[in-house]
Structure 1
Amino acid sequence: MARSLRARRRTARLRAVALVGIDGSGKTTQAHRLAEALTAAGHPATYHRNAGGRRWLGRLAQRLGRPDPQRLVGRDGLLAVESVLRWLAIALALLSCLVTGRTAVMDRYSACQYASIRAHGGQRWERLARAGYRVFPAPRVTFLLTVDPAEAYRRIERRGTDHETMRWLTAAATAYRALPEYASFVVVDANGSPDEVSRRIRAHLAEWLPEDPASTGPPPGGTGPPSGGDARGDPAQARP
């Protein structure tokens, strides 16, 4: 009976999975990995980067001699642009996966916009955003990747493609924890290596993903690989 129940659960379609969290938490790395792992396991999946255009606006602001997007279009302008662009990105992603039947692996979702609004102190915009985003179904699982803001800052500086302040990262981390959706998130510690974080994510999707061979150790009572075997060390840190 238990085996047949597990078999039926594995046949259920995984329509959408979302990864949310502050910049530098590793969302993009983990979303790409998850889409690849699901596809390899026989559940075709597509990665979708539901960005709000903040990075693009930041580059435009710098070219025009402004330090950041908010100084270019104002706080309300920034939140309006973010909300609209992210809404369009999510709508296109869901439509694409509805047509193709593939699983949507969402790199950012509506919760990212709500957190951004709160971190900017634009609470009145949150009501409008929630009204617009209400048309989107909740993902089957939403992973909140949590990382120390100082570590997130180091990762962002290391990749060298954009810049965030510690003040912003701290405010965004606080905003995620304050969201009413927080209780429904699967909170994943993302301070470790990408491989460690991937294993934690896969463990929550065991219905669709086989056990990760990298997470299995020697059999009980074993002493490790046989003489001459390849004892693997810790994986190298990948760029978040």
Structure 2
Amino acid sequence: MASSLRTRRGRARLRAVALIGIDGSGKTTQAHLLAEALTAAGHPATYHRNAGGRRWLGRLAQRVGRPDAQRLVGRDGLLAVESVLRWLAIALALVSCLVTGRTAVMDRWSACQYASIRAHGGQRWERLARVGYRVFPSPRVTFLLTLDPAEAYRRIERRGTDHESMRWLTAADAAYRSLPEYAGFVVVDGSGTPEEVSRRIRAHLSEWLPDDPPALAGPGPEDTPRPAGGAGRDGPVPAQARP
């Protein structure tokens, strides 16, 4: 009886799960798949894309003849816009799930902003961002999807909706690994098919998901089949790991 009560209480605390990583690592695809899997397992979940607006600014920059968002608004302007827009997106997502009682599956989290700031070399902005983002409760689990920047670059080029340089992807990859929260991330190898990566993620959430869930949807725009490999921590990590 006590064990059953502990299980119910543990499940009730699955309020938010976050997926982070460099562009092209498969965050969006895996966040959608995880929301579907949780909902199918009886834990209604909602996907939330907590974007910072950099892709939109990049498209705007190209329309007015600038090569990228940073050339349009400057480094500090870009980091300020990103920080504010992502803060608002996360706040709305958390309020929505508080009202509905659904699990929030976060495609990007505050760590994404800290990594972006570090990759841009704007460390003074990180201190300000951390003050603002401190109001948010930590997700139950934060998954860091890792992928070789060269493969991430190829995925981005194949999807054809935006562009990232190898220099930026390499800097962002290093930035995630340098964060003080890194030790609390559940690191998942983002290479392989979407189904393979999804199984790696679900293995860390076995308290809420069945051991052998039904087959999920096929590849999304950020993923293509690749041989398994790359960085990552093998084997389940306790779900209580937090950033």
* Pairwise same-fold verdict (TM > 0.5): yes
The one-character-per-residue Cα deviations of 1:184-230 (angstroms, maximum 9, x if unpaired) are 00000001111110000000000000013579xxxxxxxxxxxxxxx
Q: Structure 2: how far apart are the matches of 1:236 and 1:49? A: 19
Residue matched to 1:46: 46
CA contact (8 A) 1:199 1:212 kept: no
Map 1:61-80 onto structure 2 (within 5 A). Answer: 61-80=61-80
Partner of 2:189: 189
Aligned twin of 1:226: none
Match of 2:237 in 1: none
What corresponds to 1:220 in structure 2?
none
**Would the aligned equivalents of 2:83 and 2:129 in 1 still touch at CA under 8 Å?**
yes
Instruction: Name 1:176's counterpart in structure 2.
Output: 176
Cα distance in 2 for residues equivalent to 1:172 and 1:49: 19
Aligned residue for 2:221? 239
Match of residue 111 from structure 2: 111
Deviates more, 1:138-147 or 1:6-15: 6-15
Cα distance in 1, alignment partners of residues 33 and 213 from structure 2? 15
Question: Aligned with 2:136: secondary structure?
Answer: coil
- Asked whether the 8 Å contact 1:193–1:238 carries over to 2, the reply is no
Alignment TM-score, normalising by the size of structure 1 = 0.88
CA distance in 1, matches of 2:11, 2:75: 46
SS at match of 2:46: strand
Per-residue displacement from partner, 1:139-194 (whole Å, max 9, x unpaired)?
Answer: 00000000000000000000000000000000000000000000000000001111
- Kindly provide the amino acid, as one letter, of the partner of residue 135 in structure 1: V
Question: Match for residue 159 of structure 1?
Answer: 159
Name the SS of the counterpart of 1:187 in structure 2: strand
Partner of 1:204, secondary structure, is: helix
Taking structure 2 as the reference length, the TM-score comes to 0.87
Shift of 1:2: 8.9
> Does residue 210 of structure 2 align to residue 210 of structure 1?
yes
Separation in structure 2 between the aligned mates of residue 106 and residue 99 of structure 1, nearest angstrom: 16
Task: Report how far residue 237 of structure 1 moved.
Answer: 5.2
Alpha-carbon displacement from aligned partner over 1:79-126 (angstroms, at most 9, x marks no partner): 000000000000000000001000000000000000000000000000
Structure 2 gap segments, 5+ residues each: 223-243
Checking the alignment, whether the CA contact within 8 Å between 2:29 and 2:219 is kept in structure 1 is no
What is the aligned length? 221
Deviation for aligned residue 1:8: 3.7
Give the unaligned 5+ runs of structure 1: 216-234
